[in-house]
Amino acid sequence: MDEVPIGRRVAYWRGRRNMSQQVFADRLGKSKSWVDKVERGVRRLDKYSVLHEIADVLRVDVQLLLGKDPQRRTDALNCIDQVEVEAIRSALERYEALPAFFAPFAEVPPLDDVRKSVRHAWLTLQYARYGVLTRALPKLLCDAQAVDAAYRGGDDAAQEAAHLLGQVYQIASSTLRKLGEHELAWLAADRSMAVSQRSGDLLLAGVATCRVGNALLALGRPRSALEINVNFASQLAPNGCRAASPQQLSVYGMLLLQGAMAAARIGDSASVRDLFFGAEEAAGLLGADQNHYWTSFGPTNLRLHQAAAAVELGEGGRAVETDREIPRDRFNALPPERRAHHLLDLARGYAQIGDMEQAGTTLLRGDQLAPSEIRCRPIAHELMSDVLRRTRGAPAQPIAELAEHMGVGI
């Protein structure tokens, strides 16, 4: 990458962040013409201070813009940095798992070790410890790929190895999506769907479908996300011939919830209502919130998604009302990631109705619960910028301090 002109690198990372030249220019305080000239190499970037400003806006290490290996940030204890992004990308780009075309992995870890590591990774994700998780993912991906390549033949060990690799791809997809790496999130989710077919577990494939739908939604393709979730949910729908297992109800319900979120993004209120009705029936049959297939599906998680869908529909007031109806004891029993995610959605709801004080306070609550869910997610950064911009006078000191920790300018 050293031979690539610096302007091309700027254009590349701007595209990765889904910024237009105008938005990028506005955040830099420059003109669109200035950005265009930089990216075409007409204007030189010879001031280190300007390079640092560009790197801050693009959320990359300045060394990447210079074509050098990035240095690990000292303040990245809770967030991902480009060292981890490139390491995860390299792990996803490995094709040694195709033994017919590549040499086998040099080392194959014990299946039991990978099983324990996968469980630990799921717990790390549900506690929103993204910095820890992203540093562990490259090795976990390689280990799971090695085990999957070593155990082929259709026996129980082969199916479990495929199952574990499918789970690792799902963990990677969810983490990358939260941190704004949507293309990589889609790739990992797509890999999970393919591997899940070999595992012989239809429910694992169903959860993988949720991850694909989430990635498509993040990429701005809500109709595709709606279609893939609803189509797979139809295969798992309970029928009167036999009772559905709690696992089936959980995966089925989660597919409907994700379909409802995609429908809300489109503005299709009728589909949102119908999908939530189906999910509510499944939650009623399940009885209580459970964590089968790491879905956290149940009546309370259903309410969290209803609040989130209201925000997507621009109905912040309804999201606030939905939150007030959630029993606190059931809410507090959910994993920290689910609770902090809901508080982020709730803060967006408060911002929609113009209550910026409550929006900021709710972000603080989310930060106290799971800092990475607030400090590391691009959508939280956008919301904090909105809070600071629309707050009359100086923001409260705790909110100002959180904004500083997040790197959001006042």
**Residue 90 banded pLDDT, cuts 50, 70, 90:** confident
* Residue ranges in 59-181 assigned as alpha helix (H): 62-65, 82-92, 111-126, 130-150, 156-178
For residue 85, which phi and psi values (nearest 5 degrees)?
-60, -50
Contact residues for 258 (Cβ-Cβ < 8 A; gap 6+): 210, 213, 214, 217, 225, 229
According to the model, what pLDDT value does residue 358 have? 97
Task: Report residue 263's pLDDT band, with 50, 70 and 90 as the boundaries.
Answer: very high
C-alpha 151/C-alpha 154 separation (Å) is 8
Q: Give yes or no for a contact between 195 and 165, defined as CB atoms under 8 angstroms apart.
A: yes
* Alpha-carbon distances, residue 253 vs 115, 195, 205, 238, 249 (angstroms): 26, 22, 14, 10, 6
Give 73's pLDDT tier (boundaries 50, 70, 90). Answer: very low
Say if residues 52 and 59 touch (Cβ distance below 8 Å): no
CATH of the structural domain 6-64, one choice from 3.40.1830.10, 3.40.50.2300, 1.10.260.40, 3.20.20.120: 1.10.260.40
279-304 mean pLDDT = 96
Residue with the bigger pLDDT between 76 and 394: it is 394
Q: Are 362 and 350 in contact (CB under 8 A)?
A: yes
Question: Which of the listed ranges 284-288, 301-305, 395-399 does the model predict with the highest average pLDDT?
Answer: 301-305
Query: Which structure tokens are listed for 81?
Result: 């940095």
Rounded CA gap, 135 and 148, in Å? Answer: 21
Q: Kindly report, residue by residue over 280-292, the tens digit of the pLDDT.
A: 999 999 999 999 9
CA distance 108 to 387: 50
Question: What CA–CA distance (Å, rounded) separates 199 from 347?
Answer: 40
Q: Supply the mean pLDDT for the chain.
A: 89
To the nearest whole percent, how much of the chain has pLDDT over 90? 67
CA atoms of 55 and 48, how far apart (whole Å): 10
Whether the per-residue pLDDT at 199 is higher than 70: the answer is: yes
The predicted structure's pLDDT at residue 45: 86
DSSP alpha helices (H): ranges in 237-298? 246-266, 269-286
Helix (H, G, I), strand (E, B), or coil: what is residue 96? coil
How far from each other are the two terminal CA atoms of the chain, in whole angstroms? Answer: 35
pLDDT of res. 202: 95
Amino acid making up residue 170: Q
Bridge partners, 239 (sequence order)? 242
Q: Read off the pLDDT of each residue in 303-309 and give the average, rounded to a whole number.
A: 98
Q: Give the model's pLDDT for residue 101.
A: 47
Please report which confidence band the pLDDT of residue 174 belongs to, taking 50, 70 and 90 as the band edges.
very high
Report pLDDT for 106.
61
Q: Which residues contact 70 (CB under 8 A, 6 or more apart)?
A: 60, 61, 63, 64, 81, 82, 83, 86
DSSP 192-206: HHHHHHHHT-HHHHH
Query: Which two three-digit tokens encode residue 355?
Result: 């209550």
pLDDT band at 298 (very low <50, low <70, confident <90, very high): very high
- Residues 57-84, mean pLDDT to the nearest whole number: 64
Q: Classify 237 in phi/psi space as left (phi over 0), alpha (psi -120 to 50) or beta.
A: beta
Q: Pick from 297, 318, 311: which is nearest to 249 by CA?
A: 297
pTM for the whole structure: 0.80
Question: Using alpha carbons only, how large is the chain's radius of gyration in Å?
Answer: 22
CB under 8 Å to 182, separation ≥6 — which residues? 18, 176, 215, 218, 219
Report residue 241's pLDDT band, with 50, 70 and 90 as the boundaries. low
More confident residue, 359 or 408: 359
Tokens 């993040």 belong to 218
The residue extents of the domains of the chain are: 6-64, 82-217, 220-297, 322-409
What pLDDT is attached to residue 67? Answer: 73
CB neighbour class for 30 (10 Å; exposed up to 12, middle 13-18, buried from 19): middle
Quote the pLDDT of residue 74.
40
Lowest model confidence (mean pLDDT) among 103-107, 142-146, 394-398: 103-107
Cα dist. 306→66, 257, 275, 366 in Å?
45, 8, 11, 18
How high is the pLDDT of residue 290?
Answer: 94
Classify residue 409 by its DSSP letter.
-
What are the tens digits of pLDDT across the range 116-151? Answer: 999 999 999 999 999 889 889 999 999 999 999 888
The burial of 112, by beta-carbon neighbours within 10 Å (0-12 exposed, 13-18 middle, 19 or more buried), is given as exposed
Q: Which amino acid is at 213?
A: G
Which one is predicted more confidently, 79 or 51?
Answer: 51
Can you tell me the mean pLDDT for 158-170? Answer: 95
- Of 344, 347, 305, nearest to 326 by C-alpha is 305
pLDDT in tens, 333-381: 999 999 999 999 999 999 999 999 999 999 999 999 999 999 989 899 9
CB 363 within 8 A of CB 327: no
The answer to whether the CB of 217 falls within 8 A of the CB of 262 is yes
